[in-house]
Amino acid sequence: MNVKSKNNENYKNKKCKNKGKISIISLLEDERANFSIIIAGLMLIGFLILSIAVLNMAIDKTDENIQAISSDEFQYVMKDYMRNIPILEREALEELGDEVMENKYPSQDSKADLKELIDEKLSLKAEEYWENYNIHINSSLVSIENTSNPFSYKFNTYISSVKGDYSFERVLSSDLDCIGLRDPIPLLYCKGHYGLSYNDTCYSYGNSLSELLKRKGVENYSLYVNASSPLIIRKCPFDPYAHHGDDNGKIMKNCRDNGYYHESRDGACYLCRLEGKCGCEHYGFETFINPQRTNETGLVSACGSDHVIFSDDVYPGVEVIYNNESDVSDLNGQMPYEILYLDPHGHKVKYGMSDF
Ligand SMILES: [Zn+2]
Ligand SMILES: [Zn+2]
């Protein structure tokens, strides 16, 4: 029994001693854990401070970049917008021409109609730029001027824009021509007479033009039955015009085959043609109406320049036979020469056809 109780006491003492050891170890372990937490916390704070510093630097850098890009971008965007203007204006010119051709009705004021079409296009384009670049652009057509080149007009367009510290203001002048556009004059003048048609390149009048000339009391109006004339406005390259009669009239034949137009004080400019005028106060242009070929000679009919034929004051032209290759007709019965009716002292001289 004594032995047993001694053993028990020893066991208890050992147990107490061990208990003390364990609490010191766990205390040490706790302190180590706390230390780790503090270190980790400090590291985290350090990392956060570093991150914030780096982030701030990056933000500053980005701000600088935004400023730099904005300046360059603003200039680029405005230049890019201006590049579109002549394209849009040419489109408007073509659209107004198409509208006149389709409606067979002249424009009441071609410059005002163009301004409306162009301003609409400019505002749609400006909307696009607002959506893409967040830049508000103001622009509108100011004026259209005739120039010393009757096939060309000067379109003046006002453009302005402000974005932040940057601003832009300018009047852009663009030279736009009517080359390649359709001449509405024959359609506007002959639409009331049956027989007029046109394809991609020329008008065929059928009986329409001769009927129109008959109504105007023109002598030998029937020589313009089945006449033809160009549809597309193209500038004659045979300049000076006095050379049209060269080489037995081959130049004139080439010119007529291609349906060229010539500068003319009396002929209408393109914008006036859209208003249904065959002549105007501007420096304009003219083309020829090719009459029927006839075997008779020495005939007189309307002078074949378009500004004469469609005017209220038609004056006569004498028969001019040129490019006469032989006296025999070809297999289709076509006579081997060309005919125009020209006034002796005006168009015959202008085009060097006096010897025919
Ligand atoms: Zn010519
Ligand atoms: Zn005009």
- Where in the chain are the domains? 78-177, 185-350
Q: How is residue 134 written in tokens?
A: 């967040």
For ligand 2, an ion, list residues with CB under 5 A. 269, 272, 280, 282
- Distance from Cα 266 to the centre of ligand 2, integer Å: 10
pLDDT at site 66: 45
- Distance from Cα 166 to the centre of ligand 2, integer Å: 41
Residues 6 or more apart whose Cβ sits within 8 Å of residue 156: 141, 142, 143, 144, 145, 171, 172, 173
pLDDT at site 227: 97
SS3 of 124-193: the string is: HHHHHHHHHHCCCEEEEEEEEEECCCCCEEEEEEEEEEEECCEEEEEEEEEEEECCCCECCHHHHHHCCC
SS3 of 68-133: the string is: HHHHHHHHHHHHHHHHHHHHHHHHHHHHHHHHHHHHCCCCCCHHHHHHHHHHHHHHHHHHHHHHHH
- Distance from Cα 229 to the centre of ligand 1, integer Å: 13
- Distance from Cα 245 to the centre of ligand 1, integer Å: 10
Q: Are 284 and 264 contacting, i.e. CB atoms less than 8 angstroms apart?
A: yes
CA 247 to CA 229: how far, in whole Å? 23
pLDDT at site 73: 85
- Distance from Cα 269 to the centre of ligand 2, integer Å: 4
pLDDT at site 54: 57
For ligand 1, an ion, list residues with CB under 5 A. 236, 238, 255, 260
- Distance from Cα 93 to the centre of ligand 2, integer Å: 15
pLDDT at site 23: 54
CA 151 to CA 175: how far, in whole Å? 10
- Distance from Cα 290 to the centre of ligand 1, integer Å: 13
CA 150 to CA 135: how far, in whole Å? 38
- Distance from Cα 240 to the centre of ligand 2, integer Å: 23
Give CA separation, 127 vs 38, 84, 113, 134, 336, in Å: 59, 13, 22, 9, 60
pTM confidence score: 0.79
- Distance from Cα 354 to the centre of ligand 2, integer Å: 29
- Distance from Cα 32 to the centre of ligand 2, integer Å: 99
pLDDT at site 55: 55
pLDDT at site 18: 52
pLDDT at site 36: 73
Q: Which residue numbers in the chain have pLDDT < 70?
A: 1-33, 35, 41, 46-47, 49-69, 326-335
| Closest ligand to the CA of 151 | 2
- Distance from Cα 234 to the centre of ligand 1, integer Å: 10
